[in-house]
Structure 1
Amino acid sequence: MSRQDPGSTVFFSLAIDGESLGYFNGCEGLSSQVEIEQRQEGGNNGFVWQLPTRVSFSNIRLTRPITPDTAKVAKWISSVQTGIKRPTAQISALRADGSLVARWGLIDVLPVSWQGPTLDPSSPAVATEVLEITHHGFTD
């Protein structure tokens, strides 16, 4: 069995209800936070209970150079105007050869914002887009 280098270049794919929105070269915000409530027990001065309450999930930002898949993102964002549907999503981390590193399923996904490129002829930078999404938790 050959071992793959975990430090190799990784890119990400995003699918909404099974429909691919393309590949992204940056992904940040895959995180969750458990809020903790402290309870002191009477008569036990040396111990404080740490009880979990809510779990919150941060927004996820995906970045990439502009591609033809940008139209799919625009269509998905525009669909929010005709009624909110909260689909599931999958973000897959892939190696350069296309093999899967990890996959995250997301529940009740909704686009939060999309930022297109700054088109400035005096700047030779790559035209990039940023898609920000929110969700209600992780799934398989």
Structure 2
Amino acid sequence: MPRQDPGSTIWFSLSIDGESLGRFNGCDGLSSQVEVEHHQEGGNNGFVWQLPSRVTFSTIRLTRPLTPDTTKVAKWISSVQTGIKRPTAEITALRADGSEVARWGLIDVLPVSWQGPTLDPGSPAVATEVLEIAHHGFTD
């Protein structure tokens, strides 16, 4: 089996409840933090117990050049206005050839921010969009 180059170009596919919102070329914020309580036990001076208490998850920022899939993102964000539904999501890291590198399932996803492109003929650049989503944890 040939080895895959870990430095190859990676794309990130986002789907919400199984519906694809397209591919993104940037993904930031796939992280979690465990808060730790410190507990000193009487008579035990050798160490302090570190006990897990709460897990928090950062928001995830996905970026890409403007594509026709932007309308799917706008539709999803607009659906929040008619009632909050917290769907599941899946982010899949893909190599340039389409093969999967890794996959993350997300629980109770909510779009919290979308930034469209700046369209200025005075400074031509690639028109990009940024989608930021919140979630309540990872699935198996």
Same fold, TM-score > 0.5, yes or no: yes
- C-alpha displacement of 1:119: 0.8
Q: Does 1:100 align with 2:111?
A: no
Residue 60 of structure 2 aligns to which amino acid in structure 1?
I
- C-alpha displacement of 1:45: 1.2
Aligned counterparts of 1:47 and 1:104: Cα–Cα separation in 2: 36
Counterparts of 1:10-21 in structure 2, within 5 Å, are 10-21=10-21
Q: Does 1:36 align with 2:36?
A: yes
Q: What residue number does 1:73 align with?
A: 73
Aligned counterparts of 1:138 and 1:7: Cα–Cα separation in 2: 25
Aligned counterparts of 2:12 and 2:122: Cα–Cα separation in 1: 30
Moved beyond 2 Å, runs of 4+: none
Residue 103 of structure 1 aligns to which amino acid in structure 2?
R
Aligned counterparts of 1:65 and 1:2: Cα–Cα separation in 2: 31
Aligned counterparts of 1:115 and 1:33: Cα–Cα separation in 2: 26
Residue 116 of structure 2 aligns to which amino acid in structure 1?
G
Residue 55 of structure 1 aligns to which amino acid in structure 2?
V
Aligned counterparts of 1:98 and 1:44: Cα–Cα separation in 2: 55
Aligned counterparts of 1:7 and 1:138: Cα–Cα separation in 2: 25
Aligned counterparts of 2:53 and 2:84: Cα–Cα separation in 1: 28
- Normalised by the length of structure 2, the TM-score is 0.99
Residue 13 of structure 1 aligns to which amino acid in structure 2?
S
Q: What residue number does 2:116 align with?
A: 116
Unmatched 5+ stretches in structure 2: none
Aligned residues: 140
- C-alpha displacement of 1:47: 1.2
